Amino acid sequence: MANIREHCSWVHQSAKDEATSKAMDLVRMAVAKSRLLEPQEEAVTEIEPSALVIGAGVAGIEAAKSIAKKGFQVYLIDKDDTIGGYLNRLTTVNFDFKSTSDMIEDLRNELSSFDNIDLMLESEVTDAKGSIGDFDVVIKTGKKKTELKVGVVVVATGAEALEEKGLYGLKKIPEVITEEEFNHRINTEGALPDDATYAVIHCAGSREDESLEGARTWCSGICCTVALEHTLELLEKHPESRVFHLYRDLRVHYTSEDKYREARKKGVVFIRFDQDSPPEVKKGDSTAVRVEVMDQILGAQLNLDVDYVVLATAMIPPETNKELAEIFKIPTNMSGFFMEAHPKLRPVDFQTDGIYVAGTATAPKPIDESIAQGRGAAARALVPLVSGIRKAEAIVSVVDPEVCVGCGTCEINCSYNAIEVVPGDGGHDYAVSNAVLCQGCGKCAAGCPAGAITMKHFTDDQILAQIRAALSDMPANRPRILTIVCNWCSYAGADSAGVSRFQQPPTVRDIRVMCTGRVSVTHILEAFRQGADMVWISGCHIGDCHYVDGNIAFERRYAIAKKIVEKAGLEPERLQFTQISASEGPIWAEKVKELTEIVEKLGPSPLRKK
Ligand code: SF4
Ligand code: SF4
């Protein structure tokens, strides 16, 4: 397509001759690409009508029920010998005195009412192959191995509570206990005295200084609220108790703030401390424990003689996440929790199609959010299950095994596990691209040192033909900026400038690719060789790349290209890289003006053909 409206006539209204000349260039560029176009086919995959849900906590159970309700076979597995996950560690939840054992019993009864949910306890995944619609998974239960074929996978492996020996005296001083233990004792007749004094320490093992090795830097999200709930529960049952809450910041959400107000009304004392001077917990003389803390607000050192210290400890990812991440090739973040495709736009998807995630597997969260995510993940998983087929993108990578040298660069670079090196005859390993998983970003093609990868619909020949067409007819006195823009952000940003008629100089000739990750050093050098006065690559903002990190991959290539440009004797300013989003039409127009001024100051490229 030659976009001679938004990218030309609407944005150069007072430069009619130059706009006409640009329109002719854009048409010539489109024709140059069209001559090389080939029909594309979308790969179609049949979807196996069954799901594997890993983790039988509240999120996993909710996902399993939602999928089973639509009539699909579900295999629900858990490494423990019971369902319920973290619920088993608590006695009551949400301060409505709902007993967790009753909740687990209700869930068990509900699950057993489904003929199409196969519950496998004390089981774990030991191997998995395949892709969306066709996963072959091996489940180990004791010594028995079961091979399953499933169409989709939901990961709901949950989180665990930290129990670190020595943390504020935990497991060294018997009266230092966790919130789970506190919850248990509150609900056990005679387990706590009627008029004891408590110091509840928040952020125990959470939000640690990131400069420390192995620091748990994350906020565990729910512990402030849970600590308040347990305190109110205590005061309900033992109203004579005295409670101090030692906190850095109180992070309670929505209606949970009412619990804070209620606790204050009931006489709970809140003491703020600084991260650099955390409370010190020692064995006491007059009482079981002494807590020394610098009150940040009073600016005074306080010594609290208490009967119990209760720790609102961090939620941590299970160790088994690492193995599962390797088996399914799904990412974990620095903390060890699984990493969703996008926290806002795709919170229950992995980048790899057909694998979804729910609950505290990605981060600590309350039970209601975990249940909602279980439903969300099921809804996503049901899309391919219900349709029965999945059509893959037609724009995919294809590897020429004869040219490939098996270096594995593409395998490392691909964010979708869509390309892998396989053993070939006579030791000639080569890469194979999976058309079902490939998202068509082109990062692999731009980075392949052997030039073995062809990106359908965005081949090197097509891009180079557009570059040559854009620069084939350049009046000597007019600067020419060759621009390569990503489909999702900067091309749309230029469109939005056009729709709003933001006027800009007619210096730019733009080429659309799916992602800046597709832009290779060869494309840039060819544009300079053809006489471009400036080469400008523009994509999504860092963190917003439609393909995870294509713009970051290009950033590395940009640094290399910049050095080559300098060595070739060109001013480095002649090569530009910007990030402009789809909504930043005014910024696009301003950038065109700014770059035009730069290129006018620099003068024509010395490589321009005379
Ligand atoms: S980067 Fe290129 S040469 Fe290396 S394995 Fe991939 S396709 Fe083959
Ligand atoms: S085009 Fe992108 S998604 Fe497809 S194999 Fe290459 S790097 Fe992976």
Is the confidence at residue 71, as pLDDT, over 70? yes
Check if 407 has its Cβ closer than 6 Å to any atom of ligand 1.
Answer: yes
Place 329 in a pLDDT band, splitting at 50, 70 and 90.
confident
Of all protein residues, whose CA lies closest to atom 3 belonging to ligand 1?
A: 404
Check residues 311 and 334 and name the one with the higher pLDDT: 311
Is the confidence at residue 102, as pLDDT, over 70? yes
Is the confidence at residue 522, as pLDDT, over 60? yes
> What would the pLDDT profile of 7-29 be if each residue is shown by its tens digit?
999 999 999 999 999 999 999 99
Average pLDDT in the 554-581 region?
Answer: 96
Alpha-carbon distance of 250 to 260, in angstroms, equals: 9
Average pLDDT, the chain: 94
Average pLDDT in the 205-228 region?
Answer: 88
Contact in structure between 606 and 589 (CB atoms under 8 Å): no
- How many percent of the chain have pLDDT more than 70? 99
Q: Which atom of ligand 2 lies at the shortest distance from residue 413's CA?
A: 7
Check if 445 has its Cβ closer than 6 Å to any atom of ligand 1.
Answer: no
Contact in structure between 538 and 580 (CB atoms under 8 Å): yes
**Domains along the chain with CATH numbers:** 5-37+458-602 (3.40.50), 46-159+318-389 (3.50.50.60), 161-316 (3.50.50.60), 392-456 (3.30.70.20)
Check if 446 has its Cβ closer than 6 Å to any atom of ligand 1.
Answer: no
Check if 395 has its Cβ closer than 6 Å to any atom of ligand 1.
Answer: no
Contact in structure between 12 and 18 (CB atoms under 8 Å): yes
**SS3 of residue 427 by DSSP:** helix
Average pLDDT in the 95-112 region?
Answer: 86
**Tokens 């690559």 belong to residue:** 537
Is the confidence at residue 95, as pLDDT, over 60? no
Residue 97's pLDDT is 65
Residue 96's pLDDT is 61
Amino acid identity for residue 268 in this structure: V
Mutate to test the pocket of ligand 1, among 403, 409, 417, 444 (most ligand atoms within 8 A of CB): 409
Q: Which two tokens stand for residue 559?
A: 């640094």
Closest alpha carbon to 223 in 280, 305, 281, 159: 159
Is the confidence at residue 92, as pLDDT, over 90? no
Place 610 in a pLDDT band, splitting at 50, 70 and 90.
low
Calculate the alpha carbon distances from 235 to 226, 244, 265, 465 in Å: 14, 12, 11, 76
Ligand nearest the Cα of residue 440 is 2
Render the burial of 10-23: b for 16+ CB within 10 Å, e for the rest: bbbeeeeebbebbb
Alpha-carbon distance of 254 to 225, in angstroms, equals: 10
Ligand nearest the Cα of residue 428 is 1
**Which residues line the pocket of ligand 2, CB cutoff 6 A?**
397, 413-414, 416, 418-419, 433, 438-444
> What would the pLDDT profile of 424-481 be if each residue is shown by its tens digit?
988 899 999 998 889 999 999 999 999 999 999 999 999 999 999 999 988 888 999 9
Tell me the CA–centroid distance for residue 455 and ligand 1, in Å. 13
Average pLDDT in the 172-180 region?
Answer: 95
Highest mean pLDDT among 545-554, 556-565, 600-609: 556-565
Check if 250 has its Cβ closer than 6 Å to any atom of ligand 1.
Answer: no
The interface predicted TM-score (ipTM) is 0.93
Place 169 in a pLDDT band, splitting at 50, 70 and 90.
very high
Tell me the CA–centroid distance for residue 432 and ligand 1, in Å. 9
Average pLDDT in the 219-231 region?
Answer: 91
Residue 188 contacts by C-beta under 8 Å, 6 or more apart in sequence? Answer: 91
Alpha-carbon distance of 2 to 6, in angstroms, equals: 10
Ligand nearest the Cα of residue 406 is 1
Of all protein residues, whose CA lies closest to atom 4 belonging to ligand 1?
A: 407
Alpha-carbon distance of 492 to 358, in angstroms, equals: 32
Alpha-carbon distance of 373 to 371, in angstroms, equals: 5
Contact in structure between 579 and 539 (CB atoms under 8 Å): yes
Contact in structure between 79 and 155 (CB atoms under 8 Å): no
Place 407 in a pLDDT band, splitting at 50, 70 and 90.
very high
Calculate the alpha carbon distances from 578 to 91, 95, 293, 360, 391 in Å: 54, 52, 50, 36, 33
Strand segments, DSSP code E, in 320-381 are: 355-357
Residue 254's pLDDT is 79
Average pLDDT in the 522-547 region?
Answer: 94
Residue 261 contacts by C-beta under 8 Å, 6 or more apart in sequence? Answer: none
Average pLDDT in the 46-68 region?
Answer: 97
Is the confidence at residue 406, as pLDDT, over 70? yes
Contact in structure between 315 and 360 (CB atoms under 8 Å): yes
Strand segments, DSSP code E, in 225-314 are: 242-247, 269-272, 280-283, 289-295, 300-306, 308-313
Residue 351's pLDDT is 82
Alpha-carbon distance of 65 to 347, in angstroms, equals: 20
Contact in structure between 204 and 168 (CB atoms under 8 Å): yes
